Amino acid sequence: MCLAVPGQIISIDDSNPEMKMAEVRFGAAIRDISIQWLPDIAVGDYIMAHVGTALSKVDEEDARFTLDALREMGEIDDL
Amino acid sequence: MKYIDEYRDKDLVNKLVQKIRKKVSREWTIMEICGGQTHSIMKYNLMQLLPSGISLIHGPGCPVCVTPVNLIDQAIALAGLPNVILTSFGDMLRVPGSSTNLLSVKALGGDVRMVYSPLDVLDVAEANPGKEVVFFAVGFETTAPAVAMTVKQALKRKLKNFSVLISHVLVPPAIEALLDSDESRIDGFLAAGHVCAVMGTHEYIPIAEKYRVPIAVTGFEPLDILMGIFACVKMLEQGSHGVVNAYTRSVREEGNPAAQQLLREVFEPTPREWRGIGTIPASGFHLSGEYSEFDALNRFHPVVPPASHPGSCIAGKILTGQKKPEDCSEFGIRCYPEKPLGAPMVSTEGACAAYFRYKRTAVRPI
Amino acid sequence: MKSTGKINLQCPIPKSEYEHILMAHGGGGRMTRNLIEKLFIPALGNEILETGHDGAFLPPMDGELAFTTDSFVVDPIFFPGGNIGDLAINGTVNDLLCCGARPLYISLGFILEEGFLMEELWEIVQTIGTAAGTAGVKIVTGDTKVVEKGKGDKIYINTSGIGKVLPGLDISPLRCSEGDVVIINGNIGDHGIAIMSARQGLELNTQVNSDTRSLNDMMISLFQKQTDIHVLRDPTRGGLASALNEICDSSGTGITLYENMLPINDGVRGACEIMGYDPLYIANEGKILVILPESGAEQALSIMRSYEAGRESRIIGRVTPDRAGILCMETTIGTTRIVDMISGEQLPRIC
């Protein structure tokens, strides 16, 4: 399903082990998001947020690689 | 905004469009599963860029659109009870039931409140101990984990006044149902990227094998959708099939194991009616075990008359990609956003509303 | 005029006397009189209001007059960047400016709900006085009614405004012509997002303030130097898209917006992405659309940018010969899509 938005973790509150939360910045808007399902997440990481929960961590290296490949795209097919 | 703006870049989009144009040698019909992808296709008018050989069909990927009329009527009945606070995502408020919608119930004094996250409903329940707080839980596998977490917390906190009206639906059974249909003309799929962020990509492999179709796990920005289309087209032109992940920055093959574990703990699959399509086996969730006490239908047994919806609405055919909104005789004439006959006209992702908003033709409402 | 320049924190009707508005405050008797004399006159007073007549006598005026009316029912009544009082004055003033008029006189009608806090009323009334002073307008007549608890929503305000049209101006959507450009004076979506983030249920910290402000200084200066302005509109409820759609509909011309020229601040941007909102449909307050021939644009921009209210002024669109009566947008990826009228209020989506 649908509307998940990338945001950057600015602080983490793991005081409640069953409800680990993070303050996440989206542009200049900030919201508390549950990071319960991303055990290795850290401040500064980007996550995909949907209805107040973080579904996955954005793989920044992968994103860079893909965008670079698109920028350099010439006659070669591979993506 | 990082990881959004780069995927709306004009130069990269045009480069990829050129690649697609060079690749396409015949006509292909590709279905995008997810309503959010439909929204993006319309918002950026991607059809203007794609070669005419590619047809995009909008699939049933709008959990709002496919929520059965009967369930909406039950939500409306609950919202009308004097002691109930009905909480819901914004999407559901305008969707028509048999005779009215939740927004109208609110207008007449029902306590209907919009929330962004199901977790916020726990606070509403705790703040209103004298009231029954019901959450109308709509959504695919993307949203179900958030609802599962909420129900699990409700159990832990021993909340007695909280319950959920479940309307979750699952994507893979729906794809199979579409492909099983004799009228299916779908050559390839763009799978819903955020569903796969939770569930992983492996569920789609048997489908790709059985029906010999390419399935590209696809994101939501214009560049993502084009990457998904390119991946599909490549396979189609090669005559191959299988699952390709075209949304690798957000989707891992294994998905999110912790979220999946939570779904297994709280829910079990159940047959579910899809509005306009019919009942698809094992295509929904219901609360299992100790969590079933939070099922609003078990708690309240709302009485609703048999569901009715206008016979002229062809939502089912639109949701399965057999017809386009402009094929409908009511489109723009007796069915438009202010007066929708069916959910695809109301929900912002519904194919009919998206067409109406972004591709207006000479047809105008009376 | 006796309007106060700064907020007086001490409510002149102390809690010990009346903490809440009662039905009798709207009854026309002694308590109404008390409310007017102790609360309204000190904050709003001027020589016309203080005569105490049922109506106002205005001095004779030459030339064409502009007349506008508006009602303000915003919830919540206090929000980041202002309150309902700001909207009442600034909204009315800006409506008159959209007629090409210098705003002069305003009437003020209150409908108060029984039980409304006297302190909150005082704060709003003071805000009105300050806003009126800043905008150079006089509140010349008013009315107060009180409805039973549950029959209102704390406070509703109705205004009407009179202004004098400046010479040489002829503002009308019918004048919208091919070759005109569309200018806006700054960021879109601020007010709507400020209101949304103040409402319960969405728990979003956007750091966005309402952009409510009166635009007289900037617009009067523009009117005096640049009279060939075709259309003016303030994109309030329904946002940019609704205002421009109405203009397209009235004029029969087409307008094309440029998505990459739209000014949006990061807080609004973030909120829109999370909630699934389209900023084109979000309400604005201290903003104005100026449609004029392209030849006048450079001068207009230079004048507007010399005022704080217009620092971010820019061209965001053009009146086009094709697609008559339709508003379109050239997207950031170079395609064109139709920007339709919205039906009802935009709701946040998960899908």
Residue A74: pLDDT band (50, 70, 90) is: low
- At C2 the pLDDT is 34
Chain B: give the shortest CA distance to residue C329, in Å.
10
Instruction: Please check whether residue B144 lies inside any domain of the structure.
Output: yes
The proportion of chain B whose per-residue pLDDT surpasses 90, expressed as a percent, equals 64
The Cα-based distances of B250 to A35, A40, A62, B8, B193 in angstroms read: 15, 15, 9, 17, 8
Residue B361: pLDDT band (50, 70, 90) is: very low
Instruction: Please check whether residue B365 lies inside any domain of the structure.
Output: no
Our count of domains for chain B comes to 3
Instruction: Please check whether residue A38 lies inside any domain of the structure.
Output: yes
**Going by C-beta distance under 8 Å and a sequence separation of 6 or more, which residues neighbour residue C110?**
C142, C143, C144, C145, C155, C156, C157
Does the structure show a pLDDT above 50 at A1? no
Per residue in C132-161, pLDDT (tens digit) is 999 999 999 999 999 999 898 999 999 999
Residue B326: pLDDT band (50, 70, 90) is: confident
Instruction: Please check whether residue B233 lies inside any domain of the structure.
Output: yes
Contact A1 B252 (CB under 8 A): no
Our count of domains for chain A comes to 1
Partners for C (CB, 8 Å, 3+ pairs)?
A, B
Chain A: give the shortest CA distance to residue C2, in Å.
41
Report yes or no: C118 and C13 within 8 Å, Cβ to Cβ: yes
Q: What is the DSSP letter of C280?
A: G
Tell me the ipTM for this assembly: 0.92
Chain B: give the shortest CA distance to residue A43, in Å.
16
Same structural domain for residues B158 and B266? Answer: yes
Q: Does B353 touch chain C (CB under 8 A)?
A: no
* CB nearest to A3's CB, from C205, C268, C351: C351
Instruction: Please check whether residue B310 lies inside any domain of the structure.
Output: no
Residue with tokens 């920007």: C339
Across the range B104-108, mean pLDDT stands at 89
Same structural domain for residues B205 and B272? Answer: no
CATH code assigned at B224? 3.40.50.11750
Instruction: Please check whether residue B305 lies inside any domain of the structure.
Output: no
Does the structure show a pLDDT above 90 at C67? yes
Same structural domain for residues B277 and B348? Answer: no
Same structural domain for residues B293 and B208? Answer: no
- What is the bridge-based pairing of β-strands B132-139 and B84-88? parallel
CATH code assigned at B269? 3.40.50.11740
One of 3.30.70.20, 2.60.40.10, 3.90.650.10, 3.40.50.720 is the CATH number of C173-338, namely 3.90.650.10
B166 or B182, higher pLDDT: B166
The proportion of chain C whose per-residue pLDDT surpasses 70, expressed as a percent, equals 97
Across the range C67-96, mean pLDDT stands at 96
Packing angle of the helix pair B35-43, B222-238 (nearest 10 deg): 110
CATH code assigned at A38? 2.30.30.140
Same structural domain for residues B35 and B163? Answer: no
Residues spanned by CATH 3.30.1330.10 within chain C? Answer: 23-165
Instruction: Please check whether residue A78 lies inside any domain of the structure.
Output: no
Residue C278: pLDDT band (50, 70, 90) is: very high
Same structural domain for residues B112 and B35? Answer: no
Nearest in space to B141 (alpha carbons), one of B61, B81, B70, B84: B61
Across the range B46-73, mean pLDDT stands at 87
* CB nearest to A28's CB, from C267, C349, C350: C267
Contact A2 C351 (CB under 8 A): yes
Q: Give the integer Cα–Cα distance in Å for B199 and B141.
A: 7
- At B31 the pLDDT is 92
- At B364 the pLDDT is 36
Does the structure show a pLDDT above 60 at B339? yes
Q: What is the DSSP letter of B312?
A: T
Same structural domain for residues B189 and B217? Answer: yes
Instruction: Please check whether residue B308 lies inside any domain of the structure.
Output: no
Tally the C-alpha atoms within 13 A of residue A40's C-alpha that lie toward its C-beta.
6
Same structural domain for residues B276 and B149? Answer: yes
Q: Does A64 touch chain C (CB under 8 A)?
A: no
Chain C: give the shortest CA distance to residue B219, in Å.
13
> Which residue range forms the structural domain that includes residue B84?
65-170+255-300
Same structural domain for residues B92 and B224? Answer: no
Least confident stretch, A43-52, B48-57, B88-97, C119-128 = B88-97
- At C60 the pLDDT is 92
Does the structure show a pLDDT above 80 at B92? yes
Contact A2 C273 (CB under 8 A): no
Nearest in space to B174 (alpha carbons), one of B212, B144, B204, B209: B204
Helix (H) or strand (E) holding A49: strand A46-50
Contact C349 B349 (CB under 8 A): yes
Q: Which of residues 3-62 of A touch C (CB under 8 A)?
A: 3, 5, 7, 25-32, 49-51
Helix (H) or strand (E) holding B287: strand B278-287
Across the range C328-343, mean pLDDT stands at 91
Least confident stretch, A17-31, B62-76, B207-221 = B62-76
Instruction: Please check whether residue B57 lies inside any domain of the structure.
Output: no
Task: Find out whether the peptide bond into C76 is cis, omega within 30 degrees of 0.
Answer: yes
**CA A77 distance to own-chain centroid:** 29
Q: Does B251 touch chain C (CB under 8 A)?
A: no
Does the structure show a pLDDT above 70 at B359? no
Residues spanned by CATH 3.90.650.10 within chain C? Answer: 173-338
Which CATH code fits C23-165? Answer: 3.30.1330.10
Structure tokens belonging to residue B135? 């959450």
Across the range B240-268, mean pLDDT stands at 97
Give which of C197, C333, C347 to mutate to test B binding, by max B Cβ within 10 Å.
Answer: C333
- At C3 the pLDDT is 37
Same structural domain for residues B17 and B146? Answer: no
From chain C, the residues in CB contact with B114 under 8 A are 201-202, 347-348
C5 or C319, higher pLDDT: C319
From chain B, the residues in CB contact with C331 under 8 A are 43-45
Instruction: Please check whether residue A77 lies inside any domain of the structure.
Output: no
Same structural domain for residues B36 and B111? Answer: no
Same structural domain for residues B69 and B165? Answer: yes
Instruction: Please check whether residue A76 lies inside any domain of the structure.
Output: no
Instruction: Please check whether residue A37 lies inside any domain of the structure.
Output: yes
Does the structure show a pLDDT above 50 at C19? yes
Per residue in B1-25, pLDDT (tens digit) is 999 999 999 999 999 999 999 999 9
From chain C, the residues in CB contact with B113 under 8 A are 200-201
Which residue type, as a one-letter code, is found at position A11?
S
> Which residue range forms the structural domain that includes residue A60?
5-71
**Average pLDDT taken over every residue of chain C:** 91
From chain B, the residues in CB contact with A18 under 8 A are 153, 156
